[in-house]
């Protein structure tokens, strides 16, 4: 049975490797830890099956980062549960009547997963495209 802990995964880079993503340097990993507002880890006993985190301003903008479920655990609803629980956690820090914005950059071909959770694709009739710029120093 999967349980959830509102903690950052013990090895975020292991999750990033499992998704085929580049690893954070030690400095980037420390920055990611410090900049995380909310985190969740899915646990199968002592094994970490999934992780997700939110960065942002804590009041209006919340950005999902590193939403990853290890391949052997995918298709079991773990990713959906983590995203929904983090949305609830972030909303608990807001005041009644606040409008808040949850953002993310979907991994390629994962858009339908997020659409099922109520996220909309951009561009659309009301919003322009989300954009990214990577710079290597």
Closest CA to 65 of 77, 49, 83: 83
As a whole number of angstroms, the distance between CA 34 and CA 107 comes to: 23
Q: CATH code at 66?
A: 3.40.630.30
Phi, psi of 84 (to 5 degrees): -60, -40
Asked if residue 12 belongs to a domain, the reply is yes
Residue 24 lies in a domain: yes
Can you give the residue range of the structural domain that contains 71? 2-106
DSSP symbols for 26-82: HHHHHHHHHH-SEEEEEEETTEEEEEEEEEE-SSSEEEEEEEEE-GGGTTSSHHHHH
Strand 61-69 and strand 101-103: pairing?
parallel
With respect to residue 119, please indicate whether it lies within any of the assigned structural domains. Answer: no
Per the domain annotation, does 123 fall within a domain?
no
Q: Tell me the pairing of strands 47-56 and 38-44.
A: antiparallel
In a domain, 116, yes or no: no
Residue 76 located in a structural domain: yes
Evaluate whether 106 touches 121 at the Cβ level (below 8 Å): no
Q: Measured in Å, how far apart are the chain's first and last C-alpha atoms?
A: 43
Nearest to 40 by CA among 79, 97, 13: 79
128 assigned to some structural domain = no
pLDDT, position 136: 83
> According to the model, what pLDDT value does residue 134 have?
87
**pLDDT tens readout for residues 6-42:** 999 999 999 999 999 999 999 999 999 999 999 999 9
Q: What is the pLDDT of residues 97-112, one digit of tens each?
A: 999 999 999 999 999 9
In the chain, the number of structural domains is 1
Rounded to whole angstroms, how far apart are CA atoms 119 and 95?
A: 22
Q: pLDDT grade, residue 137 (50/70/90)?
A: confident
Q: Is residue 85 part of a domain?
A: yes
């Amino acid at each position: 049975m999967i349980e959830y802990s509102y903690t950052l995964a013990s090895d975020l880079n292991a999750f990033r490797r499992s998704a085929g993503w580049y690893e954070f340097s030690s400095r980037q990993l420390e920055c990611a830890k410090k900049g995380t507002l909310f985190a969740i880890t899915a646990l199968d006993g002592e094994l970490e099956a999934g992780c997700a985190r939110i960065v942002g301003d804590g009041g209006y903008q919340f950005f999902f980062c590193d939403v990853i479920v290890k391949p052997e655990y995918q298709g079991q609803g773990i990713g959906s549960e983590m995203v929904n629980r983090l949305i609830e956690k972030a909303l608990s820090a807001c005041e009644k009547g606040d409008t808040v914005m949850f953002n993310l950059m979907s991994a390629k071909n994962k858009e339908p997963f997020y659409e099922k959770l109520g996220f909309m694709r951009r561009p659309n009739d009301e919003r322009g495209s989300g954009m990214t710029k990577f710079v290597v120093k």
